[in-house]
């Protein structure tokens, strides 16, 4: 078994992969092929755990299906899935093209749905597992020049809550974590100052992915920082 982390090449995803590896958990890292993703895998393996890199363009539904099959064949039924991958294009409404809108919703909302749908049957079969959806404080409020991003993150929380209802009579759990201003590349151009580190968020994700009681099913944890 392994914990699946999407978007592990940088920021919160990378910090989460290293935090989980430090706690002894094998990993399946899902994302577009890159030297950054490879470095994250090397650094995670240096913690003494098995790490499977699963190349996948999360905008491509066929690629997501193939990634899910590879995860199950090479690493077994996921112990947990951390749906972390996300993108933002900081644009006004007038500047936002259909392509930009579609890409942000594809990565931030459609991909978590498709990966959940693909991996949930095997997790239900063993009646165990956790699904952690990484949203944003933008899941609860609007942000200037980020309409598509906010729409996708609001949608992600609604999706998670429906998943949680589906899981209420099982041994599985779904919940969401909503970080505020995190010291990562994604914060650039937002106009906000960093109020927490990626490692702060990673420790929170690791707790809910591994240790938290299943009674947190359907829960939303907001992180406002200090």
Which of 206, 201, 207 lies closest to 222, judged by CA?
A: 201
Structure tokens at 19: 């935090």
Spatial separation of the C-alpha atoms in residues 205 and 151, rounded to whole Å = 22
Phi, psi angle pair for 120, to nearest 5°: -65, -40
Q: What is the dihedral of CA 179, 131, 129, 27, to 10 degrees?
A: -70
Structure tokens at 197: 């580190």
Catalytic residue among 133, 149, 159, 208: 149
Which of 39, 45, 42, 54 lies closest to 9, judged by CA?
A: 39
Cβ 4 vs Cβ 80: under 8 Å: yes
Does the annotation count 207 as an active-site position? no
Q: What would you measure as the largest C-alpha separation in the chain, in angstroms?
A: 49
Among all residues, which ones are annotated catalytic?
149
């Amino acid at each position: 078994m392994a914990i699946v982390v999407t978007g592990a090449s940088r920021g919160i995803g990378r910090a989460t992969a290293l935090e989980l590896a430090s706690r002894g958990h094998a990993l399946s890292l899902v994302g577009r092929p890159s030297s950054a993703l490879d470095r994250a895998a090397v650094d995670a393996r240096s913690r003494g755990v098995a790490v499977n890199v699963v190349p996948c363009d999360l905008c491509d539904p066929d690629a997501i299906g193939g990634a899910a099959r590879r995860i199950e064949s090479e690493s077994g039924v996921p112990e947990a899935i951390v749906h972390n991958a996300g993108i933002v294009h900081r644009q006004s409404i007038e500047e936002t093209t259909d392509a930009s809108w579609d890409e942000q919703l594809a990565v931030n909302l459609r991909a978590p749905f498709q990966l959940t749908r693909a991996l949930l049957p095997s997790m239900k079969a063993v009646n165990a597992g956790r699904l952690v959806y990484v949203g944003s404080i933008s899941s609860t409020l609007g942000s200037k020049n980020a309409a598509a991003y906010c729409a996708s993150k609001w949608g992600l929380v609604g999706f998670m809550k429906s998943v949680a209802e589906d899981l209420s009579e099982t041994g599985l759990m779904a919940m969401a974590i909503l970080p505020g201003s995190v010291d990562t590349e994604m914060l650039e151009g937002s106009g906000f100052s960093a109020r927490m580190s990626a490692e702060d968020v990673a420790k929170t994700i690791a707790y809910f992915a591994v240790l938290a009681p299943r009674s947190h099913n359907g829960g939303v944890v907001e992180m406002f920082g200090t």
